[in-house]
Each structure stands twice: as structure tokens, then as C-alpha cells.
Structure 1
Amino acid sequence: MSYKARIREDAMRLNPMDDAMFQKMAEDVAFPQEILQVILSDKALQVLENVPQFSLKNMQGRSCILDVRCLLSDGRIVNIEVQKADDDDHQRRVRYNGSLVTTNITEPGDKFKDVPDVIIIFISKFDVFKSGKALYHVDRVIRETGELAYNGFSEIYINAEVNDNSDVAKLMEIFTKDEVYDDVKFPATSSRKRLFKHTEEGVSAMCEIIEKYKAEGMAQGMAMGRAEGRIEGRAEGRAEGRIEGLLKMAVSLWKKGRLTEQEAADEAGISLEEFKKAAAGATI
């Protein structure tokens, strides 16, 4: 199979739970608006602005790229994240992203009472809390009284692992299953998914973004290798650094669902079995 044919095959296997397709689907405001109406149980909710792949810079620490940031008509800011791999402390991820979002929307001199409310919605393929619910709201509670103490920050966790027959669970089926659509309940989500899975325009757009991801992964891997090689100061060190850098990037892209195991192994230049062993013990 040619490289182009393999890219096209990969593109047609993607679903909204995959970063690449979610990013493209979120370019149309109707998609995030529809899923927020479902998740927040508000059919009248309006998204005034949505920015996929929104970059948040942290000059003193780790920056991040949000899957999509939305501004609602009532002034609330919503960050929607999708995650396939259960490979980290996701509650701390939500906490960190929420802090960066809040910092990003706050100007010097703003009074704290004027800081907009922020909602982080974490959509995962797995059940973060292992409690058999498709949707979880995490609230701040005063331990001594049991009362809620709302400070303008909300955490909502959605997962595709649990099917409780709710609207959220039905929406997650469209996110994860190849040929599942629901034009009555979720017309915007269904139409956007069809566009990128069943039209030449959509499939070509997905091929472009997959090739972009692959190119970025290779470039980052080579950069990591060069940096490590310079530290070693020897030709052998440079070669080993490049290989390790490519492997780390390949594992990272696989965990994010952007590459299959075989593709990641090919990108790292090792066998599938070697990749599996490396990925099992890798810290990315």
C-alpha cells in the first residue's frame, strides 16, 4: 500500500474522539454548541465564539493547546478536551488547564468578582472515576457543612465507556463508533462527522491534517535527537539521541490516538514488538 493510500485509510478510520477529526469538526460553531447544549442540559445555549487548537502560553512553566475554547452568550468560557489514552492524572490535567484558561482571560487590575466563570469539559474514552456513570459533575463542597462553595470554576467529566442510555451516552456513541449517527438528536454532530468520513472534501482535509501531525512528530523527534546528541558531544550520542527522540515522539502520538501502534513503530524505525516493549516502559 502506498503512503498516500495508507494516509487515506487512516483518515477514514477516525472518529470525533480522535484529536484530528475533533479539531476539524470544531471549526464549525454548530458542533461545539450542540454538544454543550447536551452536556450542560441547556437547549437555548449559544456559542458566540469557538477556537479549535487554542494555544495558551505560560512564560514560567508548561504551556498547553486546548482542543477547543468557546465563549458563551452569558460570558462563560468553556474548554472542551477529548482524550483517548488513560495515561496520566487527568484531574490534575483539568486543574492545570483551568488555571491557564483563567489566567488567559484575566487582565491586570481586574477585580476577582469580575473574572468570568470557566467550565472545563473532559471527554474521554474511559471512565475516569470508575463509578459507572457517563457524566460526572465535580463540585467544591464545604466538608464541615456539606454545602456547595461555588467559585466560578466547574469540572465536568464525560466518558464513552459507560452506556446508561442517556443523551450524553448516545452522543458518545457517535464520537466513538464508525457508522453511528443520529440526525434527530444530534444533527450538527452527525453532519460534521459524515462530511469528514464520507465526502471527498472531508477525507482530503483529514488526510492533510494527518500528514501535518506526522511531519510535526518527525520534526520534533529529530530536534530532540539533535539536542541530546549535542549534549553527548559525540556522533554516537547524536545518533542514539535522535532514535530516542523519535521513539518518544512516536509513543506520544500513539497515546494521543494520532498513530496506530504499527505506524508509531514505523515512525520510530523499530519493529512492532520493540515498540510495544518501549511504550510499556516509556514515560512521555
Structure 2
Amino acid sequence: MDEKTAERMDAIRKFTLMDDTFMTQVFSGDLECTQELLSIILKRQDLKVMKSVTQLTIGNLFGRSVRLDIYANDAAGKQYDIEVQQEDRGAVPERARLNSALLDSRLTTAGEAYTELPETYIIFITANDVLKEGLPVYTIERTVQETGKSFGDRAHIIYVNGSYRGSDEIGQLMHDFNCGDYRKMQNPKIAARVRYFKEEAEGVATMCKTMQVIVDREREDAEIEKGKRIALNLWNGGEHDLDKIARTTELTLEQVREAITEMRSA
């Protein structure tokens, strides 16, 4: 085993489900585990997941795009975005608002009645108690302040406190999300999936490939960010020909527009 492979194997052994690299691999395409996760968080036993994909990018022509950790839908047509966040700043309310808005934009088609917009859930599993009230789960709904009644827009935001360790299902789930040893995990379905990627040859090989893809993507993202900084400098220097900026920076027109929009909103 060469040094690079040994380093990756050591990283895989240390991974927990709070690492989005590992979490997205464990849940990617696994309907049963995704259904188990949602059923526990939402306390629903009637939920049937029909689709589960990870690292889904939703583009935004006029501003910031987002990459969803897990995107899923169920047999009733409800849509889910599940995010794992190690840092509090990655789970601020405005981030949840953006994810909700862009998910809606992806689900909306021209000419469709507003009432046909599907019900959505934005779920953040956070390493810390971001909302700082000591609760295991926080459910955020729009309400009419004067009456206290639900606004009924069917858009839900949920924060799961990853530091919670109660004896209930949420506490057990958060224990498992922070556990690096599948033998000590309490949910058998999730533990079996974690074991596959940590112990079985095929699963370990898949994880190694995924890690390389992520390294390559991070390198590409760094190059894009560098190009955006150059684009901003050109724009601030008086060059307002977007096509020329795109050619100079080797960015797409959309990326150039994103850079300029981010500057204006900063």
C-alpha cells in the first residue's frame, strides 16, 4: 500500500456522517437509508422515498448557486434538501432561505399553477446547537403574526441539533452521525451502510474515487474563485465587456455575472 492510499484509508476510518464527503456517499442513491433518516427527523412512518441523490447543484444565473448535500423526494411528491454543517456560519437562517428559494425555482415551470408547487423541507443537521435553545429539533414555519395561524405555504425549515444526545430516536441518530465506528452505531440500517464504505473492498474503492473527485472539484472551485477575483478587478478597472472578461479569465458568462453580482451585494 503506497503512502497516498494509506492516507486515504486512514481518513476513511476516521470519517463520521458529520463529514459531508462521507455522508453524501453513504446516502447517495440509498432509498432505504434516506427514508430512515427522514422518518426519524420528521417522526413519520408513512414516508416512502422515491429518489435520493447527492451533491446536486442548482444554478442561479443572477447570483449565488447552491450545491445540495442530499436531494430527495417521496411518493407524495414532497421535496427534501438535507444539509450537514460543521460550522455555524454555514447554517445561518439566510442560508436556509436561499436553499428554499432556489429549490422552489428548480421545481417551478412556466404556466404551472402556484398551488402545484410541491411541499418542501430544508433540513440542516448541525454540529452545534446553532439556535441555542437546547432543543433536539427546531421546526420553522411561516405564521401570520396577528393571528398565530400557519401561513400555509408548505415550505418548511428544520434544524437538527447534532450535539443532542438524548435517549430518543433523534438522540440515537445524532450519536450515530458523530460515531466513526459502525460497530458502536445504534441504527442497524445506517450502520450497515457505513460498514460497507469502511470495510468492504468495493465500498472502500468507491470512497477513494469519491475523495479524488472532491479533491479535483475543490481545485476547480479554487480556480473559478481566482478567475472571479480577476473578473472583479477588470470590472472595477473599467472593463465592462462581459464577453472579453470571460475570455480573459476563462470563466463562463454566468460565472462572470455571479462575480459582479456578488460584488454589488457585498
Looking at structure 2, the residues matched to 128 and 66 of structure 1 have their Cα atoms a distance apart, in angstroms, of: 19
- TM-score normalised to structure 1 length: 0.75
| 1:12 aligned onto 2:20 | no
Who is 1:3 aligned against? 4
Looking at structure 2, the residues matched to 228 and 103 of structure 1 have their Cα atoms a distance apart, in angstroms, of: 28
1:181 Cα deviation (Å)?
1.4
Q: What 5-or-longer segments of structure 1 have no aligned partner?
A: 234-284
Looking at structure 1, the residues matched to 136 and 79 of structure 2 have their Cα atoms a distance apart, in angstroms, of: 23
1:87 Cα deviation (Å)?
2.6
1:211 Cα deviation (Å)?
2.0
Residues 88, 79 of structure 1: CA spacing in aligned structure 2 closer, same or farther, 3 A cutoff? closer
1:77 Cα deviation (Å)?
0.7
1:117-196 aligned within 5 A: 117-179=119-181, 180-182=184-186, 186-196=187-197
1:187 Cα deviation (Å)?
2.8
Q: SS of the residue aligned with 1:87?
A: helix
Q: State the aligned residue count.
A: 230
Query: Which among 59, 62, 70 is matched to residue 61 of structure 2?
Result: 59
Contact preservation (8 Å) 2:53, 2:72:
yes
Who is 2:36 aligned against? 34
Q: What 5-or-longer segments of structure 2 have no aligned partner?
A: 235-266
Percent of matched pairs sharing the same residue:
27
For structure 1, which segment, 96-105 or 203-212, has the greater mean C-alpha deviation from structure 2 after superposition? 203-212
Who is 1:108 aligned against? 110
Question: Per-residue displacement from partner, 1:134-179 (whole Å, max 9, x unpaired)?
Answer: 1111122222222222211011110211223221111011111112
Residues 112, 131 of structure 1: CA spacing in aligned structure 2 closer, same or farther, 3 A cutoff? same
Residues 107, 224 of structure 1: CA spacing in aligned structure 2 closer, same or farther, 3 A cutoff? closer
Contact preservation (8 Å) 2:27, 2:34:
yes
Contact preservation (8 Å) 1:7, 1:211:
no
Taking only aligned residues, the RMSD between alpha carbons, in angstroms, comes to 2.2
Contact preservation (8 Å) 1:11, 1:210:
no
Contact preservation (8 Å) 2:14, 2:180:
yes
Q: SS of the residue aligned with 2:51?
A: strand
- TM-score normalised to structure 2 length: 0.79
Residues 70, 226 of structure 1: CA spacing in aligned structure 2 closer, same or farther, 3 A cutoff? closer
1:106 Cα deviation (Å)?
0.9
Looking at structure 1, the residues matched to 155 and 230 of structure 2 have their Cα atoms a distance apart, in angstroms, of: 44
